[in-house]
Amino acid sequence: MAVDTTEAAAAAEAARQAMGGIGVSLARKEDARFIHGQGHYVDDVVLPGMLHMVIVRSPHAHARIKGIDSSAAMAIPGVVAVVTGELLAQHKLAWMPTLSGDTQAVLATDKVRFQGQEVACVIAETKYIAEDAAQLVSVDYEPLQAITTPQQAIAPGAIVIRDEKEGQTDNKIYHWEAGDKDATDAAFARAAKVVSLETFYPRCHPSPLETCGCVADLNPVTGNATIYMTSQAPHAHRTLFAIVAGLPEEKIRIISPDLGGGFGNKVPIYPGYVVATAASLLIGRPVKWIEDRTDNLISTGFARDYYMDGSVAIDENGKFIGLRVNLLSDNGAFFADAQPSKFKAGLFHIVTGSYDIPAAHIVANGAYTNKAPGGVAYRCSFRVTEASYFIERLVESAAVELGQDPVTTRLNNFIQPEAFPYKSASGFEYDSGNYPAAMKVALDMLGYDELRKEQAEKRAKGELMGIGVASFTEVVGAGKGKDYDIAGLRMFDSAELRVHPTGKAILKLGVMSQGQGHETTFAQIVAEELGIPASDVEVREGDTDNTPFGLGTYASRSTPVGGAATAVVARKLRDKGKIIAAHLFEADVADIEFAKGKYNVKGSPDNVKTIQDIAFAAYTNIPDGIEAGLEGVTYYDPPNMTFPFGTYLVVVDIDKGTGQVKVRRMVAVDDCGVRINPMIVEGQIHGGLTEGFGIAFMELITFDDEGNCIGSNFMDYLIPTAWETPRFELGQTVTPSPHHPIGAKGVGESATVGSPAAYVNAVIDALSHLGITNIDMPITSDKVWAALRSKGVTE
C-alpha cells in the first residue's frame, strides 16, 4: 500500500508540474527568445526611411538662453532638421504637463534649469551624423547662480528657478501633512524618552541596463501615430500623448516591446519622446531616439534626494507612543514625481512601518533646485523606500539609546498578528501580517544568538563586526481607484482572456513586464483557475491596440491588481463553462461541479468534460439563449492595497585601518502572501537585495556647487557587479492577503525597500559603541574611515 501511495503522490506531483499552476517554479516561457538573442527591444526596431535623433543638452545648471545658432549643424550632409524650443512653441509643444500637475520644458526656450536639460534636437540620416551635428549647434548662454540643495532653495532671497510660472515667487513646490498633529504632540508630552534621527537618503538612479528611447512613426496621410517606446505604462502614455500632443487617441498606438529593465525609470514621459513624435509628424518619416547612458543618468527620473528628520516618543515600558517626521524633498527643476495625485509625498505615511504607534504626524515640503527632475521610483513604491529606511534606522537608534538588542525593541513594538486588519495612525488599513513569525525564521536562519556572542568576543579584542536588522512593511498594489490616480486616471488594471476552440488561450493585460516574467506568472494564474496548462496560455502586453486599458507596471502593482484581474476573468469563464457543461450533460447548472479543469455532475465524478471540451462546445454546440465564445474581460479595482513585509539580517565586518565594510551574510525572509512562481519571486528578491546593496554602499548621483552632475556614467555611478554583491540566503513565511483573489501581494520592490536599512544598521551596529550613530548612504570606505578617526580610532 505504501508503494501505491507514493506512486499516487508522484503522479499527482507530475500532474501539478504539467499544469503549471500556482506554487510551481515553472521555467520561464519568455526565456527562449532571450537566450537566442531574439529579444525585441526598442532599439531593435528599424523602419523604412527611419531618421535618427540626438539631443543637444545644456552644459549649465542654470543659465539664460540668449540665442541658438544651428546653421553649422544644418550644413552637414545628412542632417534633416534641428528642432528648437522656439519651433516647438509655434506648435504649443515647448512645455508639457508632468505626472504631478506641474509643467516641464520639452526644449528650453527661456532658461535652462539643470545640467543636461534638453535644448535642441538634431535629426539626421544616421546616428553618427546626428552626433556630429549636435556638437555644432551653438547655444549662447548667460550663466546664472545654481541652486543644488533644497536648503539653499528655500532660503530667503534665493534666486527663483521657475520664474516663468505665474505666481511662483520662491522655490517652494508643496507643503503636505498626514496624521494627527495634536495626538502626536500629546504623545511626545507624556513620553519617558524621545529618540531622534536626522538622515539623508541621497539621490540615486534606477539605470535599467536598457536606456530609454522610442521610434515614432507618424503617417501624415492616414494620421496613424505608432510609437514604439520604453514604457512601463503604455495605455496611460497613449492618453497623455493624446492630451499633450493633441493627437486623436484612436489613431495613437503605443507599442512597448521587450523592456531591458525599468525600475520606475520608464514611467514618466520624457522630452525625447515628445520631440521625436513631433519631428516624425513634421518631417513625415519615422524618427528613432535612443538615449546613451549619460543622457539616461543626467536627465531622466532619478530617485530619493530626501532629507528626513524625526523622533519617536517612547513610554516608560519601552513602547513607542508617537512618531514625528519632517521631510524636505529635492525635486529638481520640474515637479515630475510619478505618484498618486492626492499624495504629494507619495505613500511616505507608511512610515509607522511594522510598529504599533498610536499617533503619528508627517510634514513634507518640496523644493525646486537646478537638478534633473524626477523623484520617481527606483524599484520603490511611491516613497515607501524612504519611509521604510527612516523608521528602521530610527528604531535602531532607539534600541541603542534604550540599551536594548534591536530585535527586542522590535518585538516589543510590532503590530501583533491578531491586530489585523490594522488601522495605522497615518491612515492605512494593513491587510494581513505576522511580523514576529518572519523575524523568528530570519533569526534562526542566521544563528543570531551565536553571532551576537562572536560580536562581543571580537569587540573585546577591538575588532569591528555588526549585525543589522530591518523588519519592513511595504504598501503596494494601488488603487483603489477612488483614492489613487495618476493624472486623473484611476489605478485599476485589466485582463482579457480568450479561450480558443481547441482549448488554448490568450491572455491580454494592461500591465507591462520589464523582466518580471509576466508571460509565465500570469499564465500560471489561468492554469490554476481554469485548468488550462500554463504552456497553453499565451500572454500579451504592451500594445495599446491589442490589450485592454490598464495603468501599467510600477509600484509592485502587477500581481496585486493585474494578477487579481486575471483570476477574476478566469473565474468568469469558468462560470460560463458551467452553463455549457450543464447543456452537454443535460443537467442543471446548479448541479455542475468544477475542479482542476474538469466539469462533472454532482455525484458522477468519473464522467467529466474537460475545459478543452467546454471550449470547443462554446464555438460548436452552445445552448440556446447563450452567446457563443469563451472570452471575457475584467477591470479590477482593488478594495485595498497589499502589505508585504519581512525581516532582513545583515552581518558585516569592518576594517579599522581602511574603513572597508565587508558584508559577510545577508538573510532575507519575505512574506508576500501566496507565491505564484517561487523561482521568479526569489529572482525578484535577489535583484532587489542587490540594488539595495548598491544604494547602501556604492550608488550616488551628486552635484558640485555649480550643479555639475557627478555620476553621469558607469565609471562614476557605481553599480554592483557579481564581485561585490553579497551571497543571499532567502527564507519565507506565507500570510495571504485576505482581499486578493489568490491571496498574493506584490514583491518586486520589497527587497529594495527593506534592505538598505538592514545594511546600514549593520554598519552602525558595528560602530555604535564608539558613539557613531549615523553615516549617510552610500557608506563608502572613506566615510567609515573618517567616522572612525573622528572618534580617535586608528589601526
Partner 1 sequence: MKVTFEINGTEKSVDVEPRTLVVDLIRTKLGMTGTHIGCDTSNCGACTVLLDGRPVKSCTLLAPMLDGKKVTTVEGLAAGGKLDAIQVGFHAEHGLQCGFCTPGMMLVGKALIEANPHPTEDEIRWGISGNICRCTGYMNIVKAIQHAAAANAAENTAGVA
Catalytic residues: 232, 379-380, 749
Alpha-carbon distance values, 162 to 87, 158, 284, 307, 369 (Å)? 21, 12, 35, 22, 9
Number of residues forming the site for partner 1 (CB under 8 A): 56
Cβ-based nearer residue to partner 1, 93 or 229: 229
* Residue 233 interacting with partner 1 (CB under 8 A): no
Binding segment toward partner 1, per CB under 8 A, in 60-68, 154-162, 523-531, 713-721:
713-721
- Please report, as a single letter, which amino acid is at residue 659: G
- Shortest Cβ distance from residue 635 to partner 1 (Å)? 27
Question: Applying CB under 8 A, which of residues 102, 180, 217, 258 lies at the interface with partner 1?
Answer: 258
Alpha-carbon distance values, 336 to 154, 243, 245 (Å)? 19, 17, 18
Q: Phi, psi at residue 530, to the nearest 5°?
A: -120, -15
Q: Phi, psi at residue 438, to the nearest 5°?
A: -65, -40
Question: Applying CB under 8 A, which of residues 7, 13, 31, 457 lies at the interface with partner 1?
Answer: 31
Question: Applying CB under 8 A, which of residues 128, 145, 575, 588 lies at the interface with partner 1?
Answer: 128
Alpha-carbon distance values, 791 to 740, 760, 787 (Å)? 52, 19, 7
Question: Applying CB under 8 A, which of residues 16, 23, 39, 309 lies at the interface with partner 1?
Answer: 39
- Shortest Cβ distance from residue 600 to partner 1 (Å)? 37
Angstrom distance (rounded) from CA 354 to CA 475: 11
Residues 663-682 that bind partner 1 (CB under 8 A): 679-680, 682
Binding segment toward partner 1, per CB under 8 A, in 347-355, 384-392, 454-462, 508-516:
508-516
* Residue 516 interacting with partner 1 (CB under 8 A): yes
Angstrom distance (rounded) from CA 276 to CA 251: 17
- Shortest Cβ distance from residue 713 to partner 1 (Å)? 5
* Residue 517 interacting with partner 1 (CB under 8 A): yes
Query: DSSP string spanning 350-390?
Result: GGGTTB--S-EEEEEEEE--SS------SS-STTHHHHHHH
- Please report, as a single letter, which amino acid is at residue 540: R
* Residue 260 interacting with partner 1 (CB under 8 A): yes
- Shortest Cβ distance from residue 725 to partner 1 (Å)? 5
* Residue 32 interacting with partner 1 (CB under 8 A): yes
Q: List, in sequence order, every residue forming a beta bridge with 785; answer none if it has no partner.
A: none
Residues 272-331 that bind partner 1 (CB under 8 A): 292-294
Angstrom distance (rounded) from CA 265 to CA 233: 11
Cβ-based nearer residue to partner 1, 529 or 691: 691
* Residue 689 interacting with partner 1 (CB under 8 A): yes
Binding segment toward partner 1, per CB under 8 A, in 27-35, 309-317, 422-430, 623-631:
27-35
CA atoms within 13 A on the CB side of 500: 8
Cβ-based nearer residue to partner 1, 28 or 459: 28
* Residue 687 interacting with partner 1 (CB under 8 A): yes
Cβ-based nearer residue to partner 1, 653 or 724: 724
* Residue 35 interacting with partner 1 (CB under 8 A): yes
Angstrom distance (rounded) from CA 220 to CA 229: 20
- Shortest Cβ distance from residue 302 to partner 1 (Å)? 15
- Please report, as a single letter, which amino acid is at residue 783: K
Residues 168-227 that bind partner 1 (CB under 8 A): 207-211
- Is the previous residue joined to 220 through a cis bond, with omega within 30 degrees of 0? no
Burial of 179 (0-12, 13-18, 19+ CB in 10 A): buried
Alpha-carbon distance values, 754 to 66, 88, 469, 690 (Å)? 48, 44, 10, 12
Residues 720-739 that bind partner 1 (CB under 8 A): 721-723, 725, 727-728
Angstrom distance (rounded) from CA 161 to CA 369: 7
Cβ-based nearer residue to partner 1, 718 or 770: 718
Q: Tell me which residues touch partner 1 (CB under 8 A).
A: 27-28, 30-41, 43-44, 46, 127-128, 207-211, 258-261, 263, 292-294, 514-517, 679-680, 682-683, 686-691, 713-715, 719, 721-723, 725, 727-728
